[in-house]
Structure 1
Amino acid sequence: MSSLLKHRGLLLLVIMLMTVFIVACSSNEDAASDSEKTTDPETTEELNEEGSSDGELSGDLEIQYFVGGYGDSWWKEVIADFQAEHPDLNIIEHAGPNINDEMRSRWVANDPPDVVYIDGAGSSETQMVEDGQLMNLTEWVQDIELENGDKLIDSFIVQPGTFDGDIYSLPLVFDTWGTWYDKAWFEEEGYTVPTDFDSFMESMKEIKDKEGIDPFVTSGQHPYYFLRGMLFPAFGAAGGEELLADVIQGKEGAWTSDVVLETMKKVEEMQKEGMFDSGLGALNHTQSQMNFLLHDNAFIPVGFWLPNEMANDIPDGFDFGFIPSPMQDAGEPFAIVPDLRPLAIAEEAKNPEAAKAFVEFVFTRDYAMSFSEHTGAIMNLTGVDLTENDQVPAYLTEANAMINDPDQVKIYEKPHPMSADLETPVGDALMSLMLGNMTAEEFTEAAEKAAADYRE
C-alpha cells in the first residue's frame, strides 16, 4: 500500500510539472506573439500616429534643434517637462551647432524628424516649404490657446510668415538684427552713438581717426549677416514693406530700382571710406564677434544672441549697447525688421500627434519668460513683462523698450525669409561690393540677375 501511494505521488508530481511546463510554454508563446505585434512596423506606425490604447502619446518623437548663440539649456528644460507629462513617449533629440548639415540626408530621403526648429547656417524655411518638407499648419493653429485662453494666433508679436496665404511654421523666437557697440567705451571716450546714416558715418570716422582701427566688422564668410542686419532695415526705411517684400521674393526690377541703388551707394561709401574691416572676407561670425569684443572694431551687426554666445569671452568692463542698424536718412526713425526663428512639423512626420502636442506645449508665456532668462533673447509672444525680472539682462529690457517705442523705431515685417537660392548669390555679390571689387551699380545688376535666375 505504501509503495502504491509512493508511485501515485510520483505520478501526480510528474503531471503537475508537465502542466506547469505547458502553461509556461503557452505564456512564452503569447509573450512572443505580443512582442511581434509591437515590433511590427505597421503597428508601430499606428501607435505613433494615434498614441497608445489609453489615449496617451507614445512611440518615438524626434526633435531637431540648432544650438548656437541661444545655447540649449532652454530646450533641455522644455523637453524634460514635456517628457514628464508624457512618460510613454521616447523623445529623441537631434541637436548641435552642425545639426542642419548632419540631418540633411534624412530630409532629402523623406525620413525627417517630427519637429524642427529652423535656425542656423544650412537652414532655410523658404527652401523647405518650396521643397514640400513642412506640414501646412494653417487650420490647426487657429484653435491653439495659451494658458489663459488667449488664441495663440492673436498673441504673436509678429505673425507667422505665409506662403501663398498658408502657414507652415510658427515663429518661436523674436530676434532682430541690430548694431552693437560697447556703451562703457563710448561713454569713456565720448564717441557718438549713431541715430541715422549720416551720424553713423561721422561716428565711424571719429573712431577710425582716434583709434586707428577699421570701425565696422561683420562675417565675410556669411554675407547674410550684413544683408539681414543692415540692408533689410535700410530697404524697409527707404521703401517700406512693399520694397522689402519685392527684394526678398526676387520681384522683377526690384534690385535695380532707384531706391535700392541709393541704399547700395551708402554701402559703397562705407567701403570707399575704409569703414569695413580689412580682413572682412576671411572672418566667420565668431571671429568677427571676438574682434568686436577686443575693440579691434567698434560696430557689428548681430542678433540678440551675441552676448549669450560670447559670454565666456567678454572683457571686464564691457557693456553691450544695442541700436537698430542706423541706415536710415536723417530725421527718420530707426527701422527694425524682425528675424523670426520658427518651429515646424515635418510633412512626413511619423508621430504627428505628438509633434503637434509638443509645439503647442512650447508656446506659453511662462516658457517665454524662461526663454529670456536662459538666452537673453525674446520669444515671439505678447504679454510678457521682462522689466520686473532681474534675471533678464539690462540690454534686453532696454532694447525691448526701444523697439516698442513708435517714436524711435518703426517695425517692418517681411513676408517670409529669403530663399537660400536667392540669398546665396546676392550675398556673394554683396561681398564683392564690400571688398571694393564691385560698384553699387554692378551689385544691383548682379542681384537682379540672381533674382531672374531664382524666378525661373
Structure 2
Amino acid sequence: MQRTFRLWWKTAVILSAFTVIAACSSGEEENGDSNTSDETEDSSDNEGSEGEGAEGLSGDFEIQYFVGGYGDEWWKEVIGDFQEEHPDLNIIEHAGPNINEEMRTRWVSDDPPDVVYIDGAGSSETQMVEDNQLMNLTDWAEDIELEDGSALMDSFIVEPNTYDGELYSLPLVFDTWGTWYDKAWFEENDWEVPTDFDHFMEVMGTIQEEEGIEPFVTTGQYPYYFLRGVLNPAFGSAGGDELLADLVAGEEGAWTSDETLNVMKKVEEMASAGLIDSGYAALNHTQSQMNFLLHENAFIPVGFWLPNEMENDTPEDFQYGFTPSPFQDEGEPYVVVPDLRPLAIAENAENPEAAKAFVEFVFNREYAQLFSEYTGAIMNISDVDLTENPNVPEYLQTANEMINDPDQVEIHSLPYPMSADLEEPISDALVALMSGDITAEEFTERAEEAAADYRE
C-alpha cells in the first residue's frame, strides 16, 4: 500500500516532559531478556469469548506483552488491578522474552490475542499494519479521556504514528537510544566523554591502547541495536527528519545519498581501526551488555532500559553513564531520536470490548508514575511530575539536563518504525560492514537494492 505515514512532534512538550523528570529517564528490538513464565493465567470460571460492555466484561481476554529490560512488575500490577475491576473476565497473559516468536503462529493463522504490546525482537508495528493485523483506532481513540477528563490524544509527549492518516496503535512507552559507559571507570582513568565523532575515535583509541580492549561492543544477533542506537541519530544529524523519513520509506536514492555514505564511512573507519569487538557478530544483547559491565568493552548503544535489565548483574562499583551517540561532526550538537513502544488491539480480537476497556485503563498518570519506578523509563504521557519521586535514577537526571539544552542536543524523529521487510536486509549488510567484509560504498549499494525490493 502507499506509505505516506506521518508522525507530528510536539518538541516543546517533549522538552517539558523531560523537565519534570529533573529529580530523576527502553528497547528493538528487542530490549533484552527477563525471567518470567512465557504464559500465565489469572483465572475466572466464566467461559465465552465475547465481552458484555465495560460494566460487565466477561469471557476470555488475552494480552501479549514482551518482557525485556523493563521487566514485568508493572504489567503484573496493572493487569491485577484490571482483574479486580472485572472479576468475571478470564485474563490470559502471554508474556516472556521470546513471546513474539512464540505467538507468531497465532497471528499468522488469524487467531491473535486481543491486546498486544509491540516491543522486542520479532515485532514490527509497521509490518503488522501492512499485514492488516491491527484494529483501526482512529475514531475510537478520540473519545478516550484520562482520569482528570483531559483527552488522551492531547496528552501524549509524542503523538502516535499514523498510516495514511489512520491510527492503529497508541504509544505507551517513551524511550531513546544512546551510548552508555561506566562513569566511575572513566573518572578513575581521566577518560573524557566523547563530544563528536572525531573525539569518539580519539577516546576509543586511548582506551584501546591503555586497556588492551576493543572499546565498542553491540549485538550482532540484533543489528538494529546499532541501527537505531547509533545510525539513526547520525542520519538525523546529517540530513534531519527528511533524510530519516526517506531512509525508513526506502525512497529511491536515499541509501546511496552522500549524507548516508558519509555516515557509513564513519562505521567503516571504526571497523578498520579495530575498535569494534571482533566477536560482536555472535553476541546477543545480554551477552554484549554483560561484556560491557565486565569492562571487556567501554561503550555500548542501548536504550534507557539497560540499567533495569542488568540490575542483578551490575558490579557494585559500576556507575551508569549515558550520552547521545557521538556520531555528529565537530561543532554539531548531539542528536536524539526518541523511540516509542505502542499498545494495539488485534483486528481479529475475540473480545474487543475488554481490549478497549484495558487500553483505556492503562493510560493514566498513576500508572505512569509506577512505570518510572519499576522500569527507570517513562510512559508517553505528559504532565507526570516525577520530581518528588526518590526512585528515579541518576542517569536520567543527566539525560534530562542534556536533552533540555538545545545547544547540546537536537531532537529528530522517525515518521514511523522501519518495516521488518526493509530493516532485516539492511541489518545483514550492516553486520558485513562492521565485520570488515564490505566497504561503506558496498553497504549503501546493498541497502539501496533492499529499498528497491521493499518498494515493489
By the TM > 0.5 criterion, same fold?
Answer: yes
Residue 353 to residue 404, structure 1, CA distance change in 2 (3 Å):
farther
Measure how far apart 1:402 and its partner are.
2.4
- In the other structure, the counterpart of 1:50 is 52
Residue 150 to residue 397, structure 1, CA distance change in 2 (3 Å):
farther
What root-mean-square deviation, in Å, do the aligned CA atoms of Structure 1 and Structure 2 show? 1.3
When normalised by structure 2's length, the TM-score is 0.88
- The 5-angstrom pairing of residues 9-408 of structure 1 reads 44-45=48-49, 48-51=50-53, 55-408=55-408
- In the other structure, the counterpart of 1:29 is none
Measure how far apart 1:400 and its partner are.
2.9
Measured in 1, the distance between the counterparts of 2:326 and 2:154 equals: 31
Does the 8 Å contact 1:137/1:167 carry over to 2? yes
* Bigger Rg over Cα: 1
Please give the per-residue CA displacement for 1:92-133, whole angstroms capped at 9, x wherever unaligned. Answer: 111111111111111111110000001111111111100000
Going by fraction, where is helix more abundant, 1 or 2?
Answer: 1
Measure how far apart 1:159 and its partner are.
1.1
Does the 8 Å contact 1:51/1:59 carry over to 2? no
Please give the per-residue CA displacement for 1:178-223, whole angstroms capped at 9, x wherever unaligned. Answer: 0000001111110010111111111111111111110100001111
When normalised by structure 1's length, the TM-score is 0.88
Measured in 1, the distance between the counterparts of 2:387 and 2:185 equals: 25
Measured in 2, the distance between the counterparts of 1:408 and 1:367 equals: 31
Stretches of structure 1 lacking an aligned partner (at least 5 in a row): 1-37
Matched length = 411
Measured in 1, the distance between the counterparts of 2:53 and 2:174 equals: 32
Measure how far apart 1:387 and its partner are.
2.7
Q: Does 1:451 align with 2:451?
A: yes
Does the 8 Å contact 1:60/1:92 carry over to 2? yes
Measure how far apart 1:409 and its partner are.
1.5
Measured in 1, the distance between the counterparts of 2:236 and 2:113 equals: 36
SS in 2 for 1:80: helix
Measure how far apart 1:149 and its partner are.
2.1
Does the 8 Å contact 1:386/1:397 carry over to 2? no
Measured in 1, the distance between the counterparts of 2:387 and 2:293 equals: 26
SS in 2 for 1:339: strand
Measured in 2, the distance between the counterparts of 1:183 and 1:148 equals: 41
Stretches of structure 2 lacking an aligned partner (at least 5 in a row): 1-45
Does the 8 Å contact 1:236/1:335 carry over to 2? yes
Measure how far apart 1:49 and its partner are.
4.2
Measured in 1, the distance between the counterparts of 2:404 and 2:147 equals: 24
Please give the per-residue CA displacement for 1:386-418, whole angstroms capped at 9, x wherever unaligned. Answer: 232111111123323322332321111111111
Please give the per-residue CA displacement for 1:263-302, whole angstroms capped at 9, x wherever unaligned. Answer: 1111111111111001111111111000100111000000
Please give the per-residue CA displacement for 1:336-373, whole angstroms capped at 9, x wherever unaligned. Answer: 11111110000001111111111111111111110010
Moved over 3 A (4+): 49-52
Measured in 2, the distance between the counterparts of 1:406 and 1:382 equals: 20
Paired amino acid for 2:345: I
Measured in 2, the distance between the counterparts of 1:404 and 1:76 equals: 33
